Structure 1
Amino acid sequence: MMTVAAARQLRDGTACFVGIGLPSTAANLARATHAPHLALVYESGCLGAKPDRLPLSIGDGILADTADAVVSVPEVFNYWLQPGRIDVGFLGAAQLDRYGNLNTTVVGDYDAPRVRLPGAGGAPEIAASCREVVVIVRQNLRTFVERVDFVTSVGYGAGPGDRERLGLRGGGPRLVITDLGVLEPDPVSRELTLTRLHPGVTQERARAATGWDLAVAEPLTTGDPPTPHELAVLRTLATTTREGR
């Protein structure tokens, strides 16, 4: 459901900054279904990659072999990402708060953390500069926290006006897609609001998996289940990757 919901948000003809994992699966599913002209940009410098299987990492050779161009990592960030040429960026996180701020640095105190996470990578630049950001993360009390322990990537800061005050070019998180549903920022308060549930999920379950008093839209809708075609393409991508073709 997470992969299909994310794929459906990608529009044909746009440029998408893709990470490995669910974002890559979603982007390749979209390109193989409703968005054949979706331009996939990988942090390794591959522009317009068209893999016929899911890449195992951003350094997977299939990305360079099928790309329109391969450029340096600094050029990806300095020429494509930072000037706002990327339409959609995908991000994940270990922690997320009600204003869409993301933590991938530490859990606990920075100087003596309980857990040291992988770190920022290109996430702060994606969050700052993409025209819109889609966050994909599982919804539970460990991840959906009242306040992130460290702001690795800025969402909407402490609320309205913070992105503008910080001079961030991009539009910020447009969607947060979880295993329970979809959240969107309130247009005034910028607080994440539950707007759509996945089939079979209840509002109460989503609230119980959130570390703050979750705002819920009226009306709260339920998304469509995956179509047979989406499932068939998704399974083909997964099978081809496992078989190494």
Structure 2
Amino acid sequence: MTVSTDYTAQEIIVVAGSKILEDNKIVFVGTGLPMVASLLAILTHAPGLIVVFEAGAMGPPLTHGLPISVGDSKTGTGASYMKGLNAAFELTQRGYADFGFIGGAEVDMYGNLNSTMMGDYPASYAKPKVRLPGSGGASDMAASCERTILIVPHDKKKFNEKLSYVTSPGHLDGTPGARQKAGMQGKGPYRVITTKGIFDFDEATKRMRILQTFPGETVQSIQDNTGFELLVAPNVSEFAPPTVEEVRLIREVVDPQGAFVKRVAK
């Protein structure tokens, strides 16, 4: 396969996300890049991937193209099951969602996500520095799916030791059994994909650690742009650049209108 040198930060995130998804698994998908990555996975290595959307569509083939929201009519076209939001979340609570795929604006070392507000909580909740989109179904997905995959743009201001607000729970404070004690199920955050690399979580401490670096990045450059100390996996590797075919699929087949993946400047 020919490696592409013409790709954007969003495109390598999409490729990385697609490769984490496994064939014949169920993924509960959030709006945006998770949708793009899931459709790319179906078109490449995971044709049996079953996609679930918050509004209630389960297992649509997505042959009519990329939805622009979890309630888009494309999510229901050809779906195996279509009932509603409660049914979709019941599926996760019964343990049938292998992956939850969500994004956020701020993340801490334990994979807790903030997509609600930036500022001093609770004092500035009514008038925060920045009002973010909110949870949608992300908190429920994070609490109930077997494993979650997180997408967060990598910036020192977004990778903080303490979040402004915890919207979607990760490994909470990292103590043994913290999620179970809080009444949650599933194993919690599995991977974090950023514009600089891929991260997992140490089994003992539940702290985020560097697993793979993206081309042009190093362990040190990633740490320098992170607001807390990252752990480092024993065998950190470099993630391979997207192939020419993967980039073509994203631009021409998956998201030709650039709904979620920004176009390359000409």
Q: Which residue of 2 aligns with 1:54?
A: 66
Note if contact 1:10-1:35 (Cα within 8 Å) is conserved in structure 2: yes
* Pairing partner for 2:250 from 222, 228, 234: 234
Going from structure 1 to structure 2, the CA distance change for 1:154 and 1:51 (only over 3 Å counts) comes to same
Instruction: Give SS of 1:17's match.
Output: strand
* Pairing partner for 2:33 from 11, 22, 25: 22
Q: Which residue of 1 aligns with 2:200?
A: 184
Q: Which residue of 1 aligns with 2:145?
A: 130
Instruction: Give SS of 1:31's match.
Output: helix
The 2-side partners of 1:58 and 1:7 are apart by: 18
Instruction: Give the residue type in structure 2 aligned to 1:210.
Output: T
Alignment length, in residue pairs? Answer: 242
Are 2:261 and 1:211 equivalent residues in the alignment?
Answer: no
Instruction: Give the residue type in structure 2 aligned to 1:211.
Output: G
Bigger relative contact order, structure 1 or 2, given CA contacts below 8 A and separation 6+?
Answer: 2
Are 2:90 and 1:111 equivalent residues in the alignment?
Answer: no
The 1-side partners of 2:153 and 2:13 are apart by: 9
The 2-side partners of 1:209 and 1:237 are apart by: 34
Instruction: Give SS of 2:41's match.
Output: helix
Instruction: Give SS of 1:65's match.
Output: coil
Are 2:166 and 1:154 equivalent residues in the alignment?
Answer: no
Note if contact 1:127-1:153 (Cα within 8 Å) is conserved in structure 2: yes
The 2-side partners of 1:44 and 1:140 are apart by: 31
The C-alpha deviation readout for 1:169-193, integer Å capped at 9, x for no partner, is: 1110000011100111001110000
Note if contact 2:30-2:103 (Cα within 8 Å) is conserved in structure 1: no
Structure 2: runs of 5 or more not aligned: 1-11, 260-266
Q: TM-score, normalised by structure 1?
A: 0.93
* Structure 1 outlier segments of 4+, above 6 Å: none
Moved more, 230-239 or 212-221: 230-239
The 2-side partners of 1:239 and 1:85 are apart by: 28
Instruction: Give SS of 1:119's match.
Output: coil
Q: TM-score, normalised by structure 2?
A: 0.86
